[in-house]
């Protein structure tokens, strides 16, 4: 909530630029033009927030959660694109009305005669294309790597559109204070992107020099990748967090994917456990020892710091067992306070089960599983079953990680069973 209020305060400050620079508005042409100025100012501000949300600032991702930041980014991107398209249409319409010319002629005049407008036009076209390919239907049909690298052109598009704002914006021309504030906004965002997207990962990987130590099969289609390096405990990773991993092997070096740690970090070893669901995750099984690894992180807010109660229920499904397994081993508490419910299609799909049983035995924790019946019937996670399992479930913190369908269904059941939203901790890597 404070971050949302801060963003709204920034939007109000941006709107005040127009308010103080506009004595009155009269006639159709002025109404159109001023509406275009307003949408342009807000579009430029929201576009800066879009880039900020791409910067992977650890304080933001750990406090808010990477999945929520990603949703904010997608939502802000839609708002920015709508505002920019409205800005273009309204400004052209207002200028055309004022000059008594057609929309096409006025568009040509604006693009060709106004300063920095050719660059702005190219940048705007790029933003529209990026917005279209980021739409749900288009995104799902596109390989992740293609979408990822096209998405990076957002930086270039923002750079191209930035300059015309200062050169032609009525709020900035002749107003050094407003111009300086706009430079400060975009300069700060740029510095954060350069630092956290380029320099911090470079320092991390040069310092820790990670390589694949071994690949271990865990279950059908599931492997663990052991990653060795120097002083890995100094990275500061916690159980429940993830990195974005790039393996410098043929066919994989251009893909960077998020995978959670499936065991607590050790001084010279990290481990991820991955289920094969796509080209990149399937390729992990063929990695050779000694393969160089490039990592970014750690990210994620689903850590022990979110815990607010003594009792904890963990619900995992599919690949979601990886961060839950690490938490199951490390969450402080008495054994009877910890319960893990593992949902899978079959007993054979219970990856890391032997490790989980050992942890449960050592800690005196409860370990349960729910698998499909011989006829394929799925055991549903219902409010009644949860309350029967844990009569005081409303007094528990819940860590939830699994496929979207399971997570959504379990979340609804938990809420009906009386668990407050603030005590259900969940992160998703779905885009």
Return the pLDDT at 282.
87
pLDDT for residue 431: 44
Q: What is 270-308 written as a DSSP string?
A: EEEEEE--SHHHHHGGGPPTT-BEEEEEEE-S-SGGG--
Mean predicted confidence (pLDDT) in 6-31: 86
Select, from the ranges 57-66, 153-162, 277-286, 343-352, the one with the highest average predicted confidence (pLDDT): 153-162
Does the pLDDT value for residue 46 go beyond 80? yes
Is the predicted pLDDT of residue 273 greater than 70, yes or no?
Answer: yes
Q: Is the pTM of this model over 0.85?
A: no
Going by C-beta distance under 8 Å and a sequence separation of 6 or more, which residues neighbour residue 68?
A: none
pLDDT one-digit tens code per residue, 71-97: 888 899 999 999 999 999 999 999 999
Average pLDDT over residues 231-244: 91
Architecture of domain 304-426: 3-Layer(aba) Sandwich (3.40)
Taking residues 189-202, what's their average pLDDT?
95
Beta strands in 138-289 (DSSP E): 211-219, 222-228, 242-247, 257-260, 269-275
- Rg of the Cα atoms in the chain: 26
Integer Cα distance of 264 and 271 in angstroms: 8
Q: What length is written for the chain? A: 431
| Other Cβ atoms within 10 Å of 238 Cβ, number | 21
Average pLDDT over residues 239-248: 93
CATH superfamily of the 209-299 domain? Translation factors (2.40.30.10)
Average pLDDT over residues 50-57: 91
Percent helix, strand, coil in the chain, to 5, is: 55, 15, 25
Q: Is the pLDDT of residue 288 over 80?
A: yes
- For the chain, percent of residues with pLDDT exceeding 70: 98
Q: Is residue 196's pLDDT more than 90? A: yes
For residues 77 and 133, the answer to whether their CB atoms sit within 8 Å is no
Distances (CA, A) of 374 to 273, 345, 371, 378: 27, 10, 9, 10
Please count the other Cβ atoms lying within 10 Å of the Cβ belonging to residue 286.
13
User: For the chain, what is the mean pLDDT?
Assistant: 89
119-154 core/surface letters (b: 16 or more CB in 10 A; e: else): bbbebbebbeebbeebeeeeeeeeeeeebeeebeeb
What 3-state class would DSSP assign to 257? strand
Q: Taking the CA of residue 17 as centre, how many other CA atoms within 13 Å lie in the half-sphere pointing to its CB?
A: 28
Q: What is the pLDDT of residues 135-186, one digit of tens each?
A: 766 677 777 777 788 888 999 999 999 999 999 888 888 889 999 999 999 9
pLDDT score, position 1: 61
CA distances from 161 to 38, 67, 233 (A): 16, 28, 42
Predicted confidence at residue 24, as pLDDT, reads 80
| Structure confidence at residue 19 (pLDDT) | 86
The pLDDT assigned to 197 comes to 92
């Amino acid at each position: 909530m404070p971050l949302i209020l801060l963003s709204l305060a920034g939007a109000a400050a941006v709107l005040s630029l127009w308010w103080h620079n506009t004595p009155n508005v009269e006639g159709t042409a002025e109404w159109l033009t001023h509406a275009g100025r307003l949408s342009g100012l807000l579009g430029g501000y929201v576009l800066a927030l879009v880039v900020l949300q791409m910067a992977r600032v650890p304080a933001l991702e750990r406090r808010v959660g990477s999945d929520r930041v990603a949703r904010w980014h997608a939502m802000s991107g839609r708002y920015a694109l709508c505002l920019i398209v409205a800005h273009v249409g309204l400004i052209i319409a207002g200028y055309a009305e004022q000059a008594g010319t057609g929309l096409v002629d006025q568009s040509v005049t604006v693009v060709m005669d106004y300063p920095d407008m050719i660059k702005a036009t190219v940048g705007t076209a790029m933003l529209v294309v990026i917005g279209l390919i980021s739409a749900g239907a288009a995104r799902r049909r596109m390989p992740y790597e293609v979408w990822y690298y096209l998405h990076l052109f957002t930086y270039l598009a923002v750079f191209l559109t930035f300059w015309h704002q200062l050169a032609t914006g009525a709020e900035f021309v002749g107003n050094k204070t407003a111009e300086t504030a706009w430079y400060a906004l975009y300069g700060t965002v740029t510095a954060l992107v350069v630092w956290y997207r380029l320099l911090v990962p470079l320092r991390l990987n040069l310092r820790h020099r990670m390589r694949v130590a071994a690949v271990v099969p865990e279950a059908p289609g599931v492997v663990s990748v052991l990653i060795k390096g120097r002083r890995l405990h100094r990275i500061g990773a916690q159980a429940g967090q993830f990195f974005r991993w790039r393996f410098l092997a043929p066919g994989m070096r251009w893909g960077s994917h998020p995978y959670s740690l499936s065991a607590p970090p050790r001084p010279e070893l990290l481990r991820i456990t991955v289920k094969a669901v796509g080209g990149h995750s399937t390729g992990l099984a063929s990695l050779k020892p000694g393969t160089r690894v490039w990592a970014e992180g750690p990210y994620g807010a689903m850590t022990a710091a979110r815990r607010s109660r003594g009792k904890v229920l963990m619900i995992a499904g599919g690949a979601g067992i990886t961060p839950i397994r690490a938490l199951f081993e490390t969450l402080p508490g008495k054994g009877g306070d910890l319960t893990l419910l593992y949902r899978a299609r079959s007993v054979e799909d219970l990856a890391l089960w032997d490790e989980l049983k050992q942890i449960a035995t050592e800690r005196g924790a409860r370990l349960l599983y729910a698998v499909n019946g011989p006829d394929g019937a799925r055991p549903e996670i219902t409010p009644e079953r949860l309350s029967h399992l844990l009569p005081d479930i409303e007094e528990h913190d819940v860590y939830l990680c699994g496929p979207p369908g399971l997570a959504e269904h379990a979340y609804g059941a938990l809420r009906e069973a009386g668990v407050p939203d603030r005590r259900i901790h969940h992160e998703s890597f779905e885009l």
